Amino acid sequence: MDGKLIVFEGVEGCGKTSQMQLCQEWLQSLGISVVVTREPGGTELGLHLRRLLLENAENQPIAELTELLLYAADRAQHVEQELKPYLAAGKYVLCDRYTDSTIAYQGYGRGLNMSIINHLNQIATSGMTSDLTIWLDVDVEVGLARKRSVGEGLDRIEQEAIAFHHRVQQGYSELAASSPNRIVRVDGNSSKEAVQKVIQGILGDRFTLNNYRETNLELIRKDTPSSDKSNFSG
């Protein structure tokens, strides 16, 4: 089976973590090998970069270009160390953020040069794009309220002005409009269960998964010696 890179994107508090966990459980129930990862922080090096990027350090502000380059460094390591090997092994990779986050946050949010961002993304990924990106579209205010309700405090990006988050949201909207086949919008304002049902429908249609478990079991039966089939249970 060919590996698939499925990315989850959206503004702060859009529900990516919950939906990825539910999606992982569903895919595994179909007999699919799944890996869950994230950016930044999907590697040991990335964990150090994540702390630099997201921890609040008022006495050590990060310049916008520095921020962009740190995200690119995290991505380059992540692609080489994690994504390429997992995809080559035929796994379904669920990734929390990827290149579209950089375009939305550093491009639209920060206003950095889009040509530079696209060039860095190309270098960091060696041209690897997602097979599917799920954009969980929630109201900015709703997402931030969700983050505050958790009670863990907001990170450096989450504490940005509301106007910044609205620019990021606009970035996702324009990205989805420009890449409708790769990026699929899902209304994230609905219940967790309703959102997951929509996501499963999208993945099922895109990757022909609706009958995957039955097909997979039939292939196993065919490969199982006759003497062992009596012990096989679907």
Instruction: Return the ∠ at Cα 168 (arms to 54 and 203), rounded to 5°.
Output: 95
Angle separating helix axes 44-54 and 64-78, nearest 10 degrees:
160
CA distance 154 to 181: 33
Quick count: other Cβ atoms within 10 Å of Cβ 53?
A: 19
| Nearest residue to 75 via CA among 104, 54, 96 | 96
Structure confidence at residue 232 (pLDDT): 38
In the block, residue with structure tokens 């997402």:
143
* Prediction pTM value: 0.89
In the block, residue with structure tokens 């967790």:
192
Structure confidence at residue 56 (pLDDT): 73
Which amino acid appears at position 173 of this protein? S
Structure confidence at residue 133 (pLDDT): 99
Which amino acid appears at position 6 of this protein? I
Is residue 30 helix, strand or coil? Answer: coil
Delimit the domains of the chain by residue range.
4-229
Query: Quick check: 41 and 98 in contact, CB under 8 A?
Result: no
Structure confidence at residue 150 (pLDDT): 82
Block means of pLDDT (10 residues each) for the chain, 234 residues, are 94 97 98 98 98 81 96 99 98 99 99 99 98 98 92 88 98 98 97 97 94 56 53 41
At the topology level of CATH, where does 4-229 sit? Rossmann fold (3.40.50)
Structure confidence at residue 1 (pLDDT): 66
Please give the DSSP secondary-structure letter assigned to residue 43: S
CA distance 208 to 210: 6
Which amino acid appears at position 185 of this protein? R
Angle separating helix axes 16-29 and 192-206, nearest 10 degrees:
50
Sorted by sequence, the CB contacts under 8 Å of residue 79 that are 6+ apart come out as 124, 125, 126, 128
Token output for 82? 């994690």
State the distance between the two ends of the chain, measured CA to CA, in whole angstroms. 20
Structure confidence at residue 172 (pLDDT): 99
Token output for 22? 């539910």
Phi, psi torsion values for 177, nearest 5 degrees:
-70, -35
Quick count: other Cβ atoms within 10 Å of Cβ 70?
A: 16
